Chains A and B, each alone.
Chain A
Amino acid sequence: MAEAAEGEFDLKSLDDAELVEQVHDDMYNGLKAEVEEATHIFLARGWAPDKVLNDALVEGMRIVGIDFRDGILFVPEVLLAANAMKGGMAILRPLLADTGVEPIGKIVIGTVKGDIHDIGKNLVGMMLEGAGFEVIDLGINNAAEKYLAALEEHKPDFLGMSALLTTTMPYMKVVIDELKAKNLRDKYIVLVGGAPLNEEFGKAVGADAYCRDAAIAVETAKRLLAERRARLAAAH
């Protein structure tokens, strides 16, 4: 491999701790090629794929998420960081599959009928996948029938619904009411999210939780799944 050009530095010259920090910086700056290169370097050094994922990529995106929440970063920067993370995940995904580690949970996710805004939903899906969940992404503009068919087919732990518009977010209640009508509501943990939503709205439509951002969606999913499994274990 050619030596680093003048003015650049070779990522291979960094020790593990420095390289992790560098990946966080490169993700913050949306440098996809650098994140991909660092991912390869970690793997070549014998790091397990899940360690690369958690220590370098997921942690880097968590930092980006905090600064977005605090108004330091804006949407374009978050999208560029997400794109960089996607680059690293594309390298790791087949390796993670080869390890045979079971997903920690499964979620069916999609934006509701009438809503085509999927940036937030995509970030949540990526972070959940990074956290070890299997994500079935139904894409955009989903009618209740499509959600229900996917729940029946994939038998997930979670249903995740997203909406950006004040005019489309009430459709979440339509889907949840449909679940209730078919006596299916208790089979799934329902998470809702989107810019105009809040805790009150989540409760009003009958969701289990409202998730303000992608990092909180991951924390909430882990917590609710653990609680549900504990309840089921106690019941047996």
Chain B
Amino acid sequence: MDAPARQLVIACGALAHEVTALKRMNGWTTLDVACLPPELHNRPEKIAPAVREKIRENRGRYASIFVAYGDCGTGGALDAVLAEECVERIAGAHCYEFYAGPSAFAELADAEPGTFYLTDFLLRHFDRLVIEALGIDRHPELLPVYFGNYRRLVYLAQSPKPDAEAGARAAAARLGLECVVKQTGYGDLDTSLAAFAGRQRIPVWPA
């Protein structure tokens, strides 16, 4: 009997934890995950070439490939590459949008353009990816330069963890922002991967 064809998800490293959690929960045993460094977000122009390279590196080894990235500030460059490579990606401008859902995210953005978003990933790595990467630890005087126009922090929580909400509030306080917590679960990341895996979606938290 032939082995089932394997599928590959090329994911942003910021989604690695969540994509592998969904794979485990849903029993997507034929699905492999390859991640690119989340630091690519600091240079969005490098995302599309890096994804193309990863697709070409793996094309012959998989029956199908899916990309778990938003546009992520590439200004359409990622979509242009994916069109050339005949590979689909999860819909949305960025992970905030596909976690919250497009209409809920639009409401959040419209209600307060000065909103800084955190996901579970960003909360886990807040000190390294926000405070240190922006140089705020070394130059606190830069804090108002970066965050002076922001009014609130919205934590889009993927999975319930006892300390996470307190962590989000501490992060907001560090940036001088009001804190709002929204439990989103995996949002469209879950449904998109389920469609790709071609399997019945098993409900995961939150229902």
Contact = CB atoms under 8 A, between A and B. Distances in A.
A201 B113 contact: no
Interface stretch (B119-127, B134-142, B162-170, B189-197): B134-142
Question: Which residue among B110, B113, B134 has the maximum number of chain A CB atoms within 10 Å of its CB?
Answer: B113
A220 interface: no
B35 interface: no
A164 B72 CA distance: 11
Interface of A is mostly: loop
A141 interface: yes
Interface in A27-73: 30, 71
Given A76-B135, A141-B113, A198 B75 contact: yes
A171 B149 CA distance: 19
A116 B114 contact: yes
Interface residues of A, number: 28
B39 to A, nearest CB: 11
A196 B146 contact: no
Interface in A95-144: 114-119, 140-141
Interface string B133-158: 01100110110011001100000000
17 contacts: A30-B139, A71-B43, A75-B134, A79-B135, A114-B109, A115-B113, A117-B149, A118-B149, A119-B145, A165-B93, A167-B97, A195-B44, A195-B73, A196-B44, A196-B71, A198-B76, A198-B77
Given A76-B135, A79-B145, A80-B139, 15 more contacts: A74-B42, A79-B135, A79-B142, A83-B145, A118-B149, A141-B113, A164-B73, A165-B93, A166-B73, A166-B75, A166-B93, A167-B109, A195-B44, A195-B73, A196-B44
Interface of B: 42-44, 71, 73-77, 93-94, 97, 109-110, 113-114, 134-135, 138-139, 141-142, 145-146, 149-150
